[in-house]
Structure 1
């Protein structure tokens, strides 16, 4: 069981996506990438709210939604934990589903810029290699 700090999260305040959704999506990605493992302790609502300068109710809403979804579980005296997940929870399909919205936004932007699809794919492949 590992305890994590609020630096786990970063918020894009100018984003059209609500802050609670950003927290949920970031947590899903961290679990899928195995940065957060079952049993890991998340930072408290108060810690996250202070670190990100956001309303504690926003963090609480995100945590409650993730608990309802089964991503997190509440443990008395400890706080919010990453829930035990099914074996297929970290499948390639789930990780692809998490990436899809980002790629859809990139595709919209590429179309708006009237870029050639082959050029966009070549650029994406180049970026993937740079980050490796």
Structure 2
């Protein structure tokens, strides 16, 4: 799992959010199963060359959302009972759409051009 975590410095999203979204995708895709322990914050931080506080922020946000569980004296693990995915998917989709729209505006695409590109890629996927 650690080798699949990738931080992209050119991404406009904060590093903690990039990590949070990747861990969330791993959980949704079943790559991290309910009850499965995560590597420690220090191990993740060392592997990605990040400040442990950044990793801790990502993990704590997923704990607050109900995706992960902290247990005293035990490693952080994927929650046994996962939260309603639709609300988290909506939040993630909104963030991703805003990022795409902002990028489109930065490169001076019109709304029509951006929608046309979305339609084109929708049909290709």
> Structure 1-normalised TM-score?
0.70
Mapping for residues 42-61 of structure 1, pairs under 5 Å: 42-61=38-57
Mapping for residues 1-132 of structure 1, pairs under 5 Å: 5-75=1-71, 79-83=75-79, 84-86=81-83, 89-91=84-86, 94-130=88-124, 132=125
Distance 1:80 1:19, change over 3 A: same
CA distance in 2, matches of 1:60, 1:111: 33
Instruction: Give the drift of 1:81.
Output: 1.1
Instruction: Give the drift of 1:45.
Output: 1.6
Give the secondary structure class of the aligned counterpart of 1:25.
helix
Q: Which moved more, 1:9-18 or 1:47-56?
A: 9-18
Instruction: Give the drift of 1:35.
Output: 3.9
Instruction: Give the drift of 1:80.
Output: 1.5
Gaps of 5+ in 1: none
Give the secondary structure class of the aligned counterpart of 1:64.
helix
Q: Per chain length, whose mean CA-contact separation is higher, i.e. which structure has more relative contact order (CA < 8 Å, sep 6+)? A: 1
> Structure 2-normalised TM-score?
0.73
Number of equivalences: 124
Give the secondary structure class of the aligned counterpart of 2:82.
coil
Supply the RMSD in Å over aligned alpha carbons.
2.7
